[in-house]
Chain A
Amino acid sequence: MELTKDILLDLHRRMVRIRHFEDEAGKLSESGQMPGALHLYVGEEAVAAGVMVHLSDEDQITSTHRGHGHLVAKGGDFKQMYAELYGRSTGYNKGKGGSMHIANVDAGMLGANGIVAAGPPIAVGAGFSNKYRGTKNVAVPFFGDGATNEGSFHEAANMAAVWKLPVVFVCENNGYGEFTPQAEHQAIKDITDRAAGYGMPGIQADGMDAIAVWEAAGEAIERARNGEGPTLLECKTYRYYDHVGRSGIGLEYRSDEELDEYRKEDPIPKIEKHLIDNNVLTADEIQAVHDGILAEIAEAIKFAENSPLPDPSTVTEDVYYTG
């Protein structure tokens, strides 16, 4: 795989889009303008970007409760995303899903999901479908360290392995299951250690480095496309904000020092240094990328705020397909 300038720019752009989308959503939530609970992806951008660069709209992903970043990286439209977070009828899900269920099936994004580890079995279904229909597409479930303690993860991993399905399991190990440190919820530290138990390769990549994720994910996805079966890719990463919202519910369960250590590893400045060192972009050009995305976000928020709320008479629509 060659790391071209286009790929570098793409990785950078996807990460910056996620970062600003989430920051603005977090602010709107805190100010009370946005209903519901938001689980923000800030800090983990390298994982979504590094994986999604390899995927087309015909490749599927499943996501988690922390799902905005995955949809943004999969090409999500800011207007329809903010409109959904605002519960407007113009949103991706017509206001029926919100943050935790945001989806865009047309682009292969099979939904954020409010149930931990619900995604892997669904991704196995999509992977099965890809193989059954004779395509070269892959399905990628994203999930956290905590999800690997759920039985559904185990069932999905086993099924993908025994049927050699084109599925790449991407674990975003951010060290916490909600507020519980990993050491308190599982007796292992590396999710990769579990891969051998399913009969699939398990590999690690630095989840704070988009290039490292891009390279490892690329190999795993290529392998899946070639019919060689699933891989478990563990990306060690960190969320900068709390479990819910930016400042969360005020629990002290991790130290400022720990957060500072990971702030030093911020994947966005990291790739920006790489862009500058390799004469891909100048500092001014990087700023222009940020400014352009912020302007797009401002417009999308305005669109969402001006969009109509759903008509209460539609509450029971879409339960069933009726033709």
Chain B
Amino acid sequence: MPGPVGIVANPASGKDIRRLVARASVFDNQEKSAIVRRVLVGAMAAGARDFAYLPDTHNIAAEAAHEFKDKANFTEVQITRTASTMDTVYAAQAMFDIGCSIVLTLGGDGTNRAFAKGWQNVPLVPISTGTNNVFPGLVEGTVAGAAAGLIAAGKIELASVSNQVKATTIEIENEEDDLALVDAVLVEGGFVGARAIWSSEQLKTAVLTRAEASAVGLTAIGGLINPITQSDDTALVIQFGPDGELINAPIAPGLYEPVPVISTDVIEFGETVTVEGPGVLAFDGERERVLRKGQTAKLQVNRNGPHVVDVHATLTKAAHLGLFLTK
């Protein structure tokens, strides 16, 4: 019997300074709660009955669960709450511990990164409710829930409809390791501050697991020069500097910036890129770790990230198997 469907809705996603310095959309928590309800409806329609959710500080998932409390079984995942990113990391660990068969995340790149920090190879259906959404795609909650439900109910095998994605591991000298799913970047400065990145002048070095020409964010810089897809077993390293050639790239929603690029290099899995402080390491769009002067960080790309479900493929396969027909 497969484990429950995990649901994580990040209350803080879609609200940072990029609403001001770029033109990102606001994701209010009522909408997130509505998406969770649609996910539950879809998953139940596909046969799932057991759910586990993170009781976030804003009751996004809890309120949705309350609506369906008589129709399904809900487990509140207990964690030590911090009202910070760590809530998502702890939730991932707890969902791993209780044996969730699949997890739906509502958030942006930052949310999925935090979850993967707690459970790196999680079977995942990411739903975009964030700012820069390279990792989670635009998918309607109803069908995302149905796909997750088919897997959780044991009707579709995870391996047949998912791909394990790339990740970058970051070894920071004398400190804890870290993780990025899309981009890991060294920027100038000495503080985390408002976290987001919206100025190209700050950029020093980037490692991109994917460089997508049609994406928004730092990944687009590489994507507009030398595209690399999720399926390629390589990554792209970019060096920035004032003497570089300019590439006009959408580094945040509604914000094109001329970015001075000195070089781009394709690297293989296992190759190490070393960066040195002073500076700040930003992962998947947000400044996270301060590197002191002389302190180094070693970055390596691998394919040990989450198993991301292809929603379209899952539902198509289920249709071919006749799973939706009843007498």
Show the binding face of A for B, using Cβ within 8 Å: 3, 183, 188-190, 192-193, 195-196, 201-205, 209, 211-212, 214-216, 219-220, 223, 231, 236, 261, 274, 277-278
Contacts and interface: CB of A to CB of B under 8 A. Distances in A.
Contacts of A3: 189-191, 193
B20 A223 contact: yes
A203 B25 CA distance: 11
Given A3-B193, A212-B193, A215-B194, A203 B29 contact: no
A231 B190 CA distance: 26
B29 A202 contact: no
A219 B15 contact: no
Contact of A215 (B29, B82, B193): B193
**Shortest 7 CB-CB contacts between residues of A and residues of B:** A215-B193, A193-B28, A215-B194, A189-B58, A201-B19, A216-B194, A211-B191
A261 B86 CA distance: 13
Contact of B19 (A202, A214, A215): A202
Contact of B17 (A188, A203, A211, A274): A203
Contacts of B116: none
B288 interface: no
Contact of B29 (A189, A212, A214): A189
B213 interface: no
B21 interface: yes
Interface size class of B (residues with CB under 8 A): 20 to 34
Interface in B9-33: 11-12, 15-17, 19-21, 26, 28-30
A211 B193 contact: yes
Contact of B30 (A193, A203, A209): A193
B15 A204 contact: yes
A79 B214 CA distance: 60
Contacts of B17: 203, 205, 215-216, 219
A145 B194 CA distance: 21
B318 interface: no
A3 B278 CA distance: 14
A202 B16 contact: no
A204 B12 contact: yes
A183 B55 CA distance: 14
B64 interface: no
B292 interface: yes
Contacts of B12: 204
Contacts of A220: 20
Nearest to A197: B28
A204 B195 CA distance: 11
Contacts of A204: 12, 15-16
B193 A190 contact: no
Given A190-B28, A193-B26, A195-B26, A203 B20 contact: yes
13 contacts: A3-B191, A188-B30, A188-B58, A193-B26, A203-B15, A204-B15, A215-B17, A215-B194, A219-B17, A219-B21, A261-B82, A274-B191, A277-B292
A50 B83 CA distance: 21
A203 B194 CA distance: 10
Interface on chain A toward B: helix, strand, loop, or mixed SS?
A: helix
Contacts of A277: 290, 292
Contacts of A211: 191-193
B193 A202 contact: no
Nearest to A193: B28
Contacts of B30: 188, 193
B26 A192 contact: yes
A196 B20 contact: no
B193 A193 contact: no
B57 interface: yes
Nearest to A274: B191
Nearest to B28: A193
A201 B22 CA distance: 11
Query: Among A3, A188, A189, which residue has the most Cβ atoms of chain B within 10 A?
Result: A189
Given A3-B190, A3-B191, A192-B15, A202 B21 contact: no
A212 B191 CA distance: 9
Contacts of A189: 11, 29, 57-59
Contacts of B290: 277
B28 A214 contact: no
Interface in B34-59: 57-59
Given A204-B16, A219-B21, A214 B11 contact: no
A183 B29 CA distance: 14
A190 B15 contact: yes
Interface in B225-248: none
Contacts of A274: 190-191
A219 B18 CA distance: 10
B87 to A, nearest CB: 12
Query: Among A3, A196, A201, which residue has the most Cβ atoms of chain B within 10 A?
Result: A201
Nearest to A194: B28
A203 B11 contact: no
B137 to A, nearest CB: 24
A132 B44 CA distance: 58
Contacts of A214: 193
B29 A219 contact: no
